[in-house]
Structure 1
Amino acid sequence: MPVELYHLIAFLISVTVVLWTIPDVKTVALRLGIVDKPNARKIHKAPVARVGGVSIFAGTIIALLIVWRLGGFAAIPIEQHGEIWGLILGSILFFCIGFADDILSLSPFSRLFMQIVVATMSWSMGVRIDFLSVPFNELIHTDVLSLPITVIWLVGMANAINWIDGVDGLAAGVSGIAAVVMLIVTLFMKQPTAALVAAALAGSALGFLRYNFNPAQIFMGDGGAYFMGFTLAGVGVIGLVKATAVTAVLLPYLILAVPILDMSAVILSRISKGKSPFIADKSHLHHWLLNAGISQRLTVLFIYALTLWVGSLALGFSNIPSGWGYAIAATALLGYIGWQVYRNRQIQIERTKDLSNHKSKVNSK
């Protein structure tokens, strides 16, 4: 069977499992009261089931198990067995941490401690960042810094995806786009094993949008967000960062630039205000756009376009055929949606002025 066919099978199976299981997961969650209740920081107005990550997790793992039974992992070199198991086992445990938080509301420090332990275990099994790229220089070997750098990357990305999960469809869409780009790049880089994981995750994330796009019928919860964030970070490590090419090492950070930069900006903003970086607030990019009067859907589409744009740049830098053509098309799409955001903002400003003038006239009478 052609290698690419296994990736298509993984994608289709994960989509099917997600679409098939979400209605039942939603029903059970509502009956048990496992819901995300509205509050001053959240956007939704009614309780929403918050364990949709169960379907994302099930879709990805079932797809990988079926592809494994079909022989899709048969060509994995013996030296790569540890790292693929480190990735899969780590993603399962990250899901368990998030799911436990969805049910029991764990403290931030207990979650962080468990995440560090799991990431360290994955590192010991071969999911390691062995090289870093220094601007205007060649690759440098991480040596003894491999463990802390890898842990920061794996734990950081899991939390970055969780942090952007504040608007209907945002985390699932960003993760789905990033997974598709990673699928393409890892296939081009001749890393079919990492590509299989990316294909399964892409199917689960994009299938979940059927029920998670605005207005969302179900949320993925911390379980889904941690699972997707860790898996994306792990695919980047075993599929790209292990290469000894400067371009390949940089690609995961470029593909996931949107959640990375959003998380970094939020942490700096909170620290500058004397707040704990672990206490949630409304300083994310999507909050800025919503506060500017941009609709939920346009906000999400703009951030999708940003993610697709940086992903297309990764395709270009990978020297994939027509990669820079895709980058130009993505730039045009980002420009168009950016223009729509600007127009929408100007309309909101005009409406605010008109309302203010109307109130002034009424008060003068």
Structure 2
Amino acid sequence: MVGAGLFTAAIVPLVRRLGLRWGLIDQPDPRKQHNEPMVRLGGIGIVLGFCLALFITWQLGGFGSLPASRDQLIWSTLLGGVAFFAVGLSDDLFQLPPLPRLALQIAVATVVWSQGVKIGSITLPFDSNLSLTLPDWLSLFVTVIWLVGITNAINWLDGLDGLAAGVSGIAAVGLLSVSFSLHQTGAGLLAAALAGACLGFLRDNFNPARIFMGDGGSYFLGFSLAAISLVGPAKELTTVSLLLPLLILSLPLADMSAVIMGRVSSGRSPFYPDRRHLHHRLLRAGFSHRRTVVLIYAFTQWFAAIALVAANAELRFLWLALATGVLIWVVVRSHRSQGDEPLDQGE
């Protein structure tokens, strides 16, 4: 985790300088929060920091003697993440239309499924020894929905400085803890590298941001979180193992679902850009940029703590959930009593 953070923190300023030199910037518009042109290629630093940390871990024998099947899942997850990053980077550079972008995501998710990153069976809750193998068509359908859905949930959350990186980092730490508690070492190391990359990126992305991750970065984070949960906690669909990543990622998934339903009910395309997201609603309610981000961080941590309680049934995670709940109450109470001036900086 530390290595990924240091690598990312060192690479991102270089990417920013190159982006400014080459004019690869995101212009402000009425739908966005930032008022100045910003480099939108920070995802390059996230991906490179993540990959370098994993490479060094692998060279040092950190993955141990994983069986060939588990080793393949690690490489499939890494290559799938790079492919999703390439799709997002293409959108950042060339403004791809929504449907071709979605088609590319589905194609990459299908290839990743064929390489073993999949939901392949359901273990019935009333008998842990009874497992139902999914037919290939159903396994493919469920896996693609999972991978593409979470990827776009993180992408749509990327609307304020530091929001997507912070939420993804918290979710990655949650998956790290759950993976090691379930003895999924490979998934745990992937989650640790992802958490470190998010933390390193926040150095230049937290409000006021100096660089944005772009669709390339958010696609990479979303896919990586989804894939790590498949090669770890949700490898088999059980009542508990599926609940854990769903709890950890419930906030971005709920936000995406609410936005889609709102757009469809208004007779618009699900891809129509608007300001229906949770962070937009909090800003309109008078929360400042930073307080909005911190509040969403706290909710994400609260859900992650509940997931850890479910996975470990240990008292310290229950105390973490309670402490996070108190933090949420304090932030909301402080806003109501003191008021808050919204800021207009951000992505």
- 8 Å contact kept, 1:290–1:296: yes
The aligned residue for residue 65 of structure 1 is 55
SS at match of 1:275: coil
2:78 pairs with 76, 84, 88, which one?
88
Give the Cα–Cα distance (whole angstroms) in 2 for the partners of residues 277 and 71 of structure 1: 45
- 8 Å contact kept, 1:254–1:311: yes
Q: Tell me by how many angstroms 1:33 deviates.
A: 1.3
Give the Cα–Cα distance (whole angstroms) in 2 for the partners of residues 85 and 21 of structure 1: 23
The aligned residue for residue 4 of structure 1 is none
Between stretches 255-264 and 129-138, larger displacement belongs to 129-138
- 8 Å contact kept, 1:188–1:320: no
Q: Tell me by how many angstroms 1:248 deviates.
A: 1.6
2:187 is equivalent to residue 194 of structure 1:
yes
The aligned residue for residue 262 of structure 1 is 255
- Over 6 Å off, 4+ runs: 133-139
2:307 is equivalent to residue 317 of structure 1:
no
The aligned residue for residue 33 of structure 1 is 23
Give the Cα–Cα distance (whole angstroms) in 1 for the partners of residues 289 and 178 of structure 2: 31
Q: Tell me by how many angstroms 1:142 deviates.
A: 3.6
2:333 is equivalent to residue 343 of structure 1:
no
Shift in alpha-carbon separation, 1:277–1:133, aligned structure 2, 3 A: farther
* Letter paired with 1:30: L
- Structure 2: 5+ residue stretches without partners: 342-347
Q: Tell me by how many angstroms 1:71 deviates.
A: 1.0
Q: Tell me by how many angstroms 1:150 deviates.
A: 0.5
2:200 pairs with 207, 222, 226, which one?
207
Shift in alpha-carbon separation, 1:135–1:337, aligned structure 2, 3 A: farther
- Structure 1: 5+ residue stretches without partners: 1-10, 349-365
- 8 Å contact kept, 1:133–1:250: no
Structure-to-structure mapping, 1:4-153, within 5 angstroms: 11-131=1-121, 141-143=133-135, 144-153=137-146
* Letter paired with 2:325: T
Q: Tell me by how many angstroms 1:141 deviates.
A: 4.7
1:330 pairs with 316, 320, 324, which one?
324
Give the Cα–Cα distance (whole angstroms) in 2 for the partners of residues 329 and 73 of structure 1: 34
Q: Tell me by how many angstroms 1:238 deviates.
A: 0.7
- 8 Å contact kept, 2:229–2:245: yes
Report Cα offsets for 1:147-179 as digits up to 9, x if no partner.
011001101111111101001110000000000
Q: TM-score, normalised by structure 1?
A: 0.88
The aligned residue for residue 344 of structure 2 is none
Q: TM-score, normalised by structure 2?
A: 0.93
Report Cα offsets for 1:2-59 as digits up to 9, x if no partner.
xxxxxxxxx1111111111111110111111111111010011100111000000000
Q: Tell me by how many angstroms 1:79 deviates.
A: 2.3
* Letter paired with 1:223: G
Q: Tell me by how many angstroms 1:127 deviates.
A: 0.6
* Letter paired with 1:342: R
Q: Tell me by how many angstroms 1:294 deviates.
A: 1.2
SS at match of 1:76: coil
Report Cα offsets for 1:226-278 as digits up to 9, x if no partner.
00000000001110111464212211111000100000000000000001001
1:183 pairs with 176, 179, 199, which one?
176
Give the Cα–Cα distance (whole angstroms) in 2 for the partners of residues 211 and 26 of structure 1: 10
SS at match of 2:33: coil
The aligned residue for residue 302 of structure 1 is 295
SS at match of 1:129: coil
The aligned residue for residue 241 of structure 1 is 234
Shift in alpha-carbon separation, 1:324–1:62, aligned structure 2, 3 A: same
